Structure 1
Amino acid sequence: MEYIASEALINARASTVWEVITDAGNLTVWESGITAIDGELRNGGTIRIKTADAGGRTLRLRVQQMPGEVMTWTSRLPLGLLKRTRTFTLSLQAGLTHLTVKEEVSGPLAAFLGNTRPDTSQHLNEYVHAVTNRAELLDRAS
């Protein structure tokens, strides 16, 4: 199993950060890296997204949530050949909101992705930075 993660301490309420990462209607407006989304980010839902780094492909993802705490987006190939899970976790730390975004890739085909995967680490860091900026801006405005 291979994984990468990015995290930040955000000077905004956890509810504001949660609102930012679950507002499907606005994910394409700010610098989230998502260029198109169809579906709702709700527990048990399915979304279809396009990202700048996916080469025009649409990714179908299953959403699971513990509202205000954890959200996962999971995609998988049949027979367990490949499973990709992105987990968003919020916690309070010293009066700030700690956001961790972790992507795990597993299954027999994971080893073959190697250098063919886009620089997911950079994209994850850019996403977390954009969430931080948007949440802090929205929290100050309220």
Structure 2
Amino acid sequence: MHSVEAETLINAPSSTVWDVITDARNYTVWESGIIHFRGELRDGGTIRIRTRTGGNRTVRLRVQQLPGEVMTWTQGLPLGLLTGVRTFTLERLGGMTHLRVREEFTGPLCGLLLREFASDTQQAFIEYVNAVRKRAEILGRNPQTTGS
């Protein structure tokens, strides 16, 4: 198993943070690291994304949610050769929110394929949680602001 994670404390209510990480329409507008997004971020949904660091490769992910608390995006190769599960966890801390994003990779090809991508993936996660924090704190101060 191989995993990467990043976390941050956000000066915004968890509902605002949840709105940011589940707003599929705007993922490519803010600095999420995602440059193409298609699908719906809903429980049982499927999304297709392309990331800034992934080149032209589009990844298909299955979405599961416990609204306001946890969301997972799952991808995998056939026969369980490689499976990745990205988990977004929100924890309320007074008027603030602790956001943790963790991805665990399992399967026989895990070590072979992921060794060279570990530092890039870790950096992308750090940039993602920082971008969520920035967007949620702006939206939290200006709740009437929607869209970009």
TM-score (normalizing by structure 1): 0.97
Do structure 1's residue 4 and structure 2's residue 25 form an aligned pair?
no
> How far has the Cα of 1:141 moved from its partner?
0.5
Inter-CA distance 48–114: structure 2 relative to 1 (3 Å threshold) = closer
1:71 match: 71
Structure 1 distance, partners of 2:26, 2:124, is: 18
1:140 match: 141
> How far has the Cα of 1:116 moved from its partner?
3.3
> How far has the Cα of 1:103 moved from its partner?
0.8
Structure 2 distance, partners of 1:51, 1:93, is: 30
Inter-CA distance 114–48: structure 2 relative to 1 (3 Å threshold) = closer
Per-residue CA deviation, residues 10-34 of structure 1 (Å, 9 max, x unaligned), is: 0001000000000000000000000
Give structure 1 regions of 4+ aligned residues with deviation exceeding 4 angstroms: none
Structure 2 distance, partners of 1:10, 1:53, is: 25
Structure 1 residues without counterparts, runs of 5 or longer? none
What amino acid does structure 2 have at the position aligned with 1:130?
Answer: A
RMSD: 1.0
> How far has the Cα of 1:96 moved from its partner?
1.2
Partner of 2:49: helix, strand, or coil? strand
2:146 match: none
1:53 match: 53
**Between the two proteins, what is the percent identity of the paired residues?**
61
1:128 match: 129
Kindly tell me the number of residue pairs found equivalent between the two proteins. 142
Per-residue CA deviation, residues 70-112 of structure 1 (Å, 9 max, x unaligned), is: 0000001111100011100001124310000001111000010
TM-score (normalizing by structure 2): 0.93
